[in-house]
A and B are shown apart, each in its own frame.
Chain A
């Protein structure tokens, strides 16, 4: 397996004028649907799938893949500009990205997201090209105990997401877990918290909570704020990162890329976990960690690199094993099968031009997205100079469309409105919504894997400690917990001593 000759084959496939055009169409479409809340890559790919039958398989797959990561890019734009994460993986970007926008640094934040994503995409592509086959087997090693312990690390890490009070963050995580439980319990088939609404039988859509808690809550809060009346930002400020910004974004991009590349391999919540973990890591190791939550560039660069790297390496289990890690990947797989391409280890030897063409086109797609998005920064940022009286109704309208289009039911729009008030209350009580979202996304995975682990072990709890990977994660979680509480213990001890003295 000569990686260079393979990449050369890939380049010769991907660089054809026709395939470049497909990648461009896909990237543009992806960016657009990423910017519109609710209309995610899943819906878009499934709607476009029938139209791609006319194309040749390589071109069609290149286009579908471009839509997929174009959407990852676009999702962060709304997160930064209007406090609305379009995808689960851009929830974290909201925290510092929106603060940057309010400080007039929206352009810098969007550019940072684009640059970080590009850098991560390059690394992700190389990882995919070089290690697809050996890394694929990592996915099998993760069973119930391993996933459970990984989720524990994620939830413990979520406490550090919040810059405010720890008890409030813990409370928000629990509310999130409870919201995640709404609907049918997969193990027993029992209905939980559905209050006899059939619409709640399959749980709550992520976008409904995101639209409510983030976007609606923000709009209500802004209306109640007498100090801001005209536009959301007073001055636009610089559009592109300066030398200092570049210097500060490099380390988080490297760290975020590493974390994202690893977590992307795990089927399930790769991009989400990647961005959460990257943010948690910045909180621990960054030189500027005291500024996180207040508009630090690290808070955008790290998570954005992580989710894009994960989006890239998520192709590993799909391509190498034929087992998709997400519904979107399942659709990509369906597309491959439709073109008579049988995914699995043999795809690399049997259809090398398709495999390597796709790998290379991912890299080209990332480059295109960078070229496409940087000039658009000025345009996106101009949206912020629209007066509130026009911008707010527009945001509300698009959010309602987003909440509706997830399942085509007006119930979800009302539910989102309800969450809007909840989001406003959270803001008033100074409870941050990001830990809630993490609880909502990871809670169901935590429960499912916990119960599966115990079914397989026939009720033996020691399985979480006897499985080495699982034990490693639990140790890490314990260390994180101790590290998080140490300053508090020391502080209270100091207070005690001060009083005594």
Chain B
């Protein structure tokens, strides 16, 4: 019998133990979201519990232009990380250069949204994938054809097996994209640091926060909670006649014409232009819109009335809104392309 030195045996054992440790990219164990202070637990649908393997696959799909018919548009084409996952356009440009009809919404904290799209027609992060993928002005593709295209790539097949224990399919594609998007959490703004970490905040922003939450401006009656939205549908009197019917497209109810989901204000200074159609370029103009009291559409929220804000108050509101930018969120490598 050959006698191995004891240190060699220990070294071999150590190697064996380390090699058994899972590769973080292939980990099938549940992935715990690192939630910022003040954030509630995120609802995750049964059957799509977060794992690193699912998130990794979802991120790859998010940046894959082969998901569009002409191979030119990825999810990330209209949801750029440096713009808090918006695209800086009034309305997005889709496959074959076609112009869409909506402003791309931010994906920050999208996992908390009870419904997706500006009219709320997407009922989950998983099912909403069909919307942009098949819209003729966005990716202009077909789910079946997209799956058939991507399943030809062995790396996607292997990742699908690893993440969902099945071959690449519409189920895998939609679930993985949902998993990745649930990790897009933003809660480290200057205002968060002020609230939860004792950081110093500009006094104008503090005054703006008081105004924002107070009776005079009443912004927080809709832009409430940790995500600065109550997810309700509101007609804010942007127009006296709407070409985009908003919530009424889904509800088929005339009383919903011109109503759109209240957007989160996190990173709002990074996500210009604004409104469902990108018709407002600057935050100052939004403040002016609310101070004016809207165009008086029949469905306009009656709480939207002239506010009588002073120049200083408008500047304070602007400072507060700018303090909601999360610069870590727009630079985290785990959210960006490989």
Q: Tell whether A pairs with B.
A: no
List B residues at the A interface (Cβ < 8 Å). none
